[in-house]
Structure 1
Amino acid sequence: MRGALFTVSRSVFDISRQKEVAATPEEEVRQQVVSWLIKEKKVPVHLIETEFALKALDPKNADRLDILVHHFRAGNPLNRPWLLVECKRPGVESPQALQAQVNKYLRILTPQFIMLALGNRAVFFSLSDDKKSFAPVSDIPEYPAPARPLSRGN
C-alpha cells in the first residue's frame, strides 16, 4: 500500500488493574515499580492500586496518582495509605513540578511512605513521628505481614 501509515501499539499487563495498558515510558516505570513492590517488598497485589482516582476521597478532585499501596489492617482509613508512589519516565525530572504534584496529593492523603520513581532511580521519604513532615530515607521496609492469631496451644 502506497502512503499507508501503520501504527504498532505495544502494551503491558497491569496486574493491579487486571488489563492491558499502553506501554508508554511512564507506564513502563509504573509497572517496574509494581513488580518491585510485589517481589522485593512483599506487598500483596490486592493492596496495590495504579492510577488511583483521588475523587474516591474528594469528589471535586479529578487527579490520579500513579500508585497507592493500602494498609492491610481493617478499619485503616483510605486516606492513610502505606505508600504513595509518583512515577516519571526517564529524563523527566523537574523537582519543583514533582514537589507541587506530590504536595497536591498530600492535601488529601497522609501516607506512611512516599516513593518518587524517576526513571531508573528512586527516592524515598518516611512520615515523621509528629505526622507533620516527611524525611528522606534510604529505602522502605518490606510490607508488614498481617498479624497472625495465636494458636490455642500458646
Structure 2
Amino acid sequence: MNSDSNEQQIYDIIRNEWVAALPEEIIRQKLVAMMIEDKGFPKELISVEKSLRDMPHLTDIKGSLPDRRVDIVAFAKGIHPSYNLYPLLVVECKAVKITEKVISQVTGYNHYMKACFVAVANDTELRTGWYNNTLDKYTFIEGMPTYDELVAAIQTPNPEL
C-alpha cells in the first residue's frame, strides 16, 4: 500500500495505477491477485470497474443499458460464435455480508452482461454461480473454480462445477 497522500492507496495491477484503498477496493485487488496467481486467469483478459456501456459485446445496445460498472469481468476467447472475447465471469465485490440483495445485484448485472458465470465476494466469503436451466434459477457453490475449469464447464448445457 502506498501512503504518499493523506489517503491509503493500493496498486491496481489491471489498471496499472494507484487507487484509494477503500474496503471494497482491497477485496477487489486481493481477489484479482488470487484469480491470476492461484486460479490461472490470464491478466490480459480481466477488466475492473468496467462500465456496461464499454463492453465490446454490448456495443449495439448502448442506449438501453443502465449506467453501471462491473467490479471484475474475466473474458475468454472463442466461447461465443459472434464475439472473439466474451464475458466468462462477472464478479461483485462487497465490504459487507453477502446477502440475497448482493446476489440479486450481480445476477441483475448479468441480465445485461450474459456472462457464463457470476461470483460474489467479500473479505471472508467467495461464491461462484451459474444459471441452472433445469431449476430455472442461479446455483451457487463456495469458492471459485480455476479459469480452465470454468471454460471447460461451459461446454455442457447445464454446467456443474
| TM-score bracket for the superposition, by shorter chain length | 0.7 to 0.9
Task: Indicate the residue corresponding to 1:45 in structure 2.
Answer: 43
Question: Mean Cα displacement is larger for which, 60-69 or 131-140?
Answer: 131-140
Which residue matches 1:24?
22
Tell which deviates more after alignment, 96-105 or 30-39.
Answer: 96-105
TM-score (norm 1): 0.75
1:65 aligns with 70
Question: Is 1:88 equivalent to 2:94 in the alignment?
Answer: yes
Structure 1 range deviating more: 34-43 or 102-111: 102-111
Q: Which runs of 5+ in 1 are unaligned?
A: 1-6, 147-154
Match of 2:125 among 121, 127, 130: 121
Q: State the superposition RMSD in angstroms.
A: 2.8
User: What is the TM-score with the length of structure 2 in the denominator?
Assistant: 0.72
Deviation at 1:29, TM superposition (A): 0.2
SS in structure 2 opposite 1:82? strand
Q: Which moved more, 1:53-62 or 1:38-47?
A: 53-62
Q: Mark the CA change 1:40 to 1:127 in structure 2 (over 3 Å): closer, same or farther.
A: farther
- Conservation of the 8 A alpha-carbon contact between 2:78 and 2:84: no
Report which of the two structures shows the higher radius of gyration computed on alpha carbons.
Answer: 1
Which secondary structure does the structure 1 equivalent of 2:120 belong to? Answer: strand
After the TM superposition, which parts of structure 1 deviate over 4 Å for at least 4 consecutive aligned residues? 129-132
Aligned-pair CA distance for 1:70: 0.5
* Aligned-partner Cα distance in 2 for 1:38–1:131: 32
Identity %: 27
SS class of match (2:112): coil
- Unmatched segments (≥5 aa) in structure 2: 152-161
Q: Which residue of structure 1 aligns with residue 108 of structure 2? A: 104
